[in-house]
Chain A
Amino acid sequence: GAVVSQHPSWVICKSGTSVKIECRSLDFQATTMFWYRQFPKQSLMLMATSNEGSKATYEQGVEKDKFLINHASLTLSTLTVTSAHPEDSSFYICSASQHEAFFGQGTRLTVV
């Protein structure tokens, strides 16, 4: 199946700093990618839809100024968590699809 790669797999940052997470589709072009967040013992929650060449679409309750999404090419979307706080600590997962969705391996963010 298609491969979606995320980087980094895990990151620890200090409160107030920003963290960028990359999501790449390795063997297909993706005009649309999706970002999810998952807290411990909970299901995945869709955060936003990343659109190549245009603005991202955010789900209700997700702060667009805090979670900056850039989709500059057909194979790369980035999520930047700005001014991170401990409550932003979570597992962030991206996906891209051809006919079915393929997911990255996830990024574990810990804000200290």
Chain B
Amino acid sequence: DAKTTQPPSMDCAEGRAANLPCNHSTISGNEYVYWYRQIHSQGPQYIIHGLKNNETNEMASLIITEDRKSSTLILPHATLRDTAVYYCIVRVGGSNQGGKLIFGQGTELSVKP
């Protein structure tokens, strides 16, 4: 699976959009971009994933560049409860090996009042 690079930490004001970048320059054609987050002392929570098109769900939007070498997770209106470590993971999708994830260090997002 391709390696990802994320900033170690970011701050965001409550109510503003949080934009979390991820570089994955060695991504292969059949690899998806997945985002998870981990709130302190809990298991990771799935947020969103995509292959090449931008994706949106009730939690977030995922913007993937045309060359697929980077992506941005957008939390449109961050709340204090969005404070967590956000992990960007690249892997081949659609198999029962989907739980085999290699976690990097992630981005620690702090949402401040």
User: Which residues on A are within 8 Å of B, measured CB to CB?
Assistant: 1, 4, 6, 30-34, 36, 43-46, 49, 91, 93, 95-106, 108
In contact, B42 and A105 (Cβ under 8 angstroms): yes
Please state if B101 and A99 are interface contacts (CB–CB under 8 Å). no
**Distance in angstroms between the alpha carbons of A92 and B6 in the assembled complex:** 24
CB of B77 to closest CB in A, whole Å: 21
Contact assessment for B103 and A98 in the assembled complex, using a CB-CB cutoff below 8 Å: no
Cα of A36 to Cα of B96 in the assembled complex, Å: 17
Chain B, 26-77, CB within 8 A of any chain A CB: 34, 36, 38, 41-46, 49
Where the two chains meet, the residues of B that have a C-beta atom closer than 8 Å to any C-beta of A are 34, 36, 38, 41-46, 49, 87, 93-94, 96-106
Contact B96 A30 (CB under 8 A): yes
* Measured CA separation A104–B49 after assembly (Å): 19
Q: Please name all residues of chain A whose beta carbon is closer than 8 Å to the beta carbon of B43 when the two chains form the complex.
A: 4, 6, 93, 95, 103-106
Q: Compute how far the CA of A101 lies from the CA of B43 in the bound complex, rounded to whole angstroms.
A: 11
User: CA A101 – CA B1 in complex, angstroms?
Assistant: 15
CA distance A32 to B98 in the complex (A): 9
Q: Besides the contacts A43-B103, A43-B106, A101-B101, what 18 more A-B pairs have beta carbons closer than 8 Å?
A: A33-B99, A36-B103, A46-B100, A46-B101, A46-B103, A95-B43, A95-B99, A97-B98, A97-B99, A98-B98, A99-B93, A99-B94, A100-B34, A102-B46, A102-B99, A103-B44, A104-B43, A105-B42
